Amino acid sequence: MRVPGYWRNMSFLYRLAGWKCVHCGAFHHYKPVVCRRCRSKEFAQVELPGSGRLIAYTVVRSPPKEFERCAPYAIGLIELEDGTKILSQLTDFKENELRDDIRVEAVFRRVRINGEQGIIEYGYKFRPALSQS
């Protein structure tokens, strides 16, 4: 990724901050012109809840070029506590600890260092929550 692109996405990558439609609650990574779901034009800046439930996950063993040094890595589809869905790499898990439906929480991690311009990219990943009740 190029540096300006990375900077633009920092608020989401660093703190899961984006925009929610005040009428229907749809989440948008950027402040859009109109809500893609209900066409309203009013948005509030929000931070998404940092915890949720793992819907499904996979472990990538045949990676794309830029992720060759990271493989194998796990990626999950997560439903956050407010109902927003998010895709994320998974981290800090022990063998056999990942299961669909477990509770997960966001952590701040280095994502990769081999971007186009050699910058070290940080962002969110999710890990199994200590308390599963």
Partner 1 sequence: MTAAIIGVGMTRFGRDLEHQLPELAFKAIDEALRDAGVSKEDIGFIAFGNVGGWSGEFFPLPIVCEYAGLNPRGGMRVEAACASGSAALAAACMAVESGYADIALAVGAERMNELASTPAIVELLGRGGNFFWEFEMLGLTFPAYYALFARAYMDEYGATEEDLAKIAVKNHYYGSMNPKAQFQKKITIEDVLNSRYVAWPLKLYDCSPITDGAAAAVVASERIASRLTDTPIWVKSQGIATAPANLTMRRDLLSIESVVEAARQAYRKARIEDPVRSLDLALVHDCFTIAEIIAYEDLGFARRGGGYLLAREEQTYIGGLIPVNTDGGLKAKGHPIAASGLAMIYEAVKQLRQEVDRGRQAPIKHGQALIHNVGGTGHFAYVTILSLEKP
Structure tokens at 59: 């472990």
Please state the closest distance from residue 6 (CB atom) to partner 1, in A: 9
Position among 17, 46, 60, 102 found at the interface with partner 1 (CB under 8 A): 60
64 lines the binding site for partner 1 (CB under 8 A)? yes
Chain centroid to CA 131: how far?
A: 21
Tell me if 120 sits within 8 A of 110, measured CB to CB. yes
With H, G, I as helix, E, B as strand and everything else as coil, classify residue 120.
coil
Closer residue to partner 1 (CB): 9 or 23: 9
85 lines the binding site for partner 1 (CB under 8 A)? yes
Q: Residue 39: CB partners within 8 Å, gap ≥ 6?
A: none
111 lines the binding site for partner 1 (CB under 8 A)? yes
Closer residue to partner 1 (CB): 70 or 129: 70
Please state the closest distance from residue 21 (CB atom) to partner 1, in A: 13
Edge-to-edge strands of the sheet including 27-28?
27-28, 17-21, 43-47
77 lines the binding site for partner 1 (CB under 8 A)? yes
Chain centroid to CA 117: how far?
A: 22
Phi first, then psi: give them for residue 8, nearest 5 degrees: -60, -30
**Number of neighbouring beta carbons within 10 Å of residue 62:** 7
* Number of residues engaging partner 1 in binding (CB under 8 A): 34
Please state the closest distance from residue 89 (CB atom) to partner 1, in A: 6
Residues in touch with partner 1 (CB under 8 A): 1, 5, 9, 13, 29, 55-68, 70, 73, 75, 77, 84-89, 100-101, 111, 121, 123
